[in-house]
Structure formats: structure tokens, C-alpha cells
Amino acid sequence: MNNCPIGVFDSGVGGLTVVKELIRQLPNENIVYFGDTARVPYGVKSKPTIIRFSIENILFLLKKKVKLICVACNTASSLALPSIKGHFNIPIVGVIAPGARRASQLSSSRRIGVIGTSATIKSRAYEKELKRLDPKIKVFTQACPLFVPFVEEAWINKKPLEDVAKIYLEPLKKKKIDTLILGCTHYPLLKNLINKIMGPKVNLVDSAKETVKQLKDLLIREGRLRKKTSRSKKVFYVTDEKTSFYYLGKSFLGSDLIKVKRVNNV
């Protein structure tokens, strides 16, 4: 079981931020990644649809004999995970709780911002978790629905994206937050731009880093870490055309993005 891969799924390329952290923190682990690129973005879809997609994605990964599943998608973590977590006989880790916990640790003013997809923000998942950690925390949220399409189209360094980002982030600047949760795994790919707009005094919390820390602790606790007997394998599956995913992924992961396969149905 220790040599079985870690499964990761996301609506598109955003979950590669989790994969990058997995490679950094757990270099010996095999990884199977599933990007549901044919149905991205999840953030504008209904809760029942997101739950159905999440179940289908988990069932796909289970066929690959994974030992643990990371729900890298914030939208799926906030809307689907609470409903489905107990229905599978395998550890499933989401990205909400780890990111909220880190934000709570970093914030001195107790004024925390959250950006995410429309569905994630409407779910109030981060707000509920932050309030559970500390009722005194004031939470300010902002949906940023256009960020995911920009990332998926590899328009990260385009001027229109900067204009959109300023519109989204200016209201949060006025709230004088000192910590901002990047509540979508696509958003760390925009970290430089977000940092430029928010300024150096605002802590940016990347849920991917915190999630992998939790995932690592879980594997250590259960004695499931893979020992290095051979080079770790990474396989990437997508549900739509794979070329754009490959080139965007390769620019982000470098040589660690080796195989990308398209699946016609989940």
C-alpha cells in the first residue's frame, strides 16, 4: 500500500500547485493527477453538480489504486467534501481547513480576506472554519470568477488580467486586512500579481502548501510514506485537449510533468 500513488483532482490546471508542493515535500511519492478540463470551471456550477463531478473524479482515482486522495479544488472541498467524505474507505483531504488554520496563525489584526470562485465564496466554508478557530476574526470575502479562465488560457502575464485583479482586490485593500487566503488552487499561479496589488504587508496564504503539510503528517502517522526504491512516477489525466495543459503544466512543474493522457469519460 505504501507504494501506491497519491491521487489529486482539480477542475483544471490549478491543482498542479498542490502537485508542486507534493514534489517538494514528499519527493518519493508516486502521484496520479486528474484535471477535469472539459468541465472547468466548477465555481459557477450548482452544488449537486459539483458533488456529482467530485464523486466521479474520486471513482476514477480509485481505479488507479491510490492510497489517499487530495481534493485540490477549493470549490469541491467547500461544497462536496462534507457530503461525500464518509462514503469512501480511503483518506480524503481537502484544502479549506489547512488554509484557514494557517491564516489564523499569521493574522495579528484578526482581519482576514478570502478570494475564491463564486461557489466557494457563497458556501462561506472559509468563513465558517475561521470563525470556528477564532470567533473574533473578521472575514472579508471576494469572488474572483474570471481568474480561473485567465489561468486556464495561460493569460497570466496579460494586461487585462491585471486590470481585472485590481477591480477584485481593491475592496479588500480598503478593509485593511493583513492576511489573504488564496481560496482557489489556480490563484497561487497569480501570486506575484496579487502580491503586487495588495502590497508587502499582506500575508498571502497558499492553501496548497498547508494541505500538503497535513497530508504528509497523515501519511507519517499511518506509516504509509513511500520509501525510495525507485524513481517516483507522476501521471496526469485530463478530460479535454491535453496540449494547453501540457505546456502550462511544464512551465510550472518543469521536467516533473512527464505524461499527460486524455480520458474520454470519467
Q: Give me the active site residues, please.
A: 73, 184
Using an 8 Å Cβ cutoff, are 98 and 213 in contact?
yes
Alpha-carbon distances, residue 138 vs 19, 106, 151, 171, 172 (angstroms): 31, 14, 29, 15, 12
Q: How far apart are CA 206 and CA 182, in angstroms?
A: 6
Nearest partner of 261 among 1, 62, 40, 64, judged by Cα: 64
Label residue 243 left, alpha or beta by phi (over 0 means left) and psi (-120 to 50 means alpha). alpha
CB 106 within 8 A of CB 78: no
End-to-end CA distance of the chain: 24
Please return the burial class of 255, using the count of CB atoms within 10 Å of its CB with bins 0-12, 13-18 and 19+.
exposed
**CA separation, residue 224 to residues 18, 29, 91, 180, 219 (Å):** 19, 10, 11, 33, 5
Residue 194 Cα to chain centre, angstroms: 17
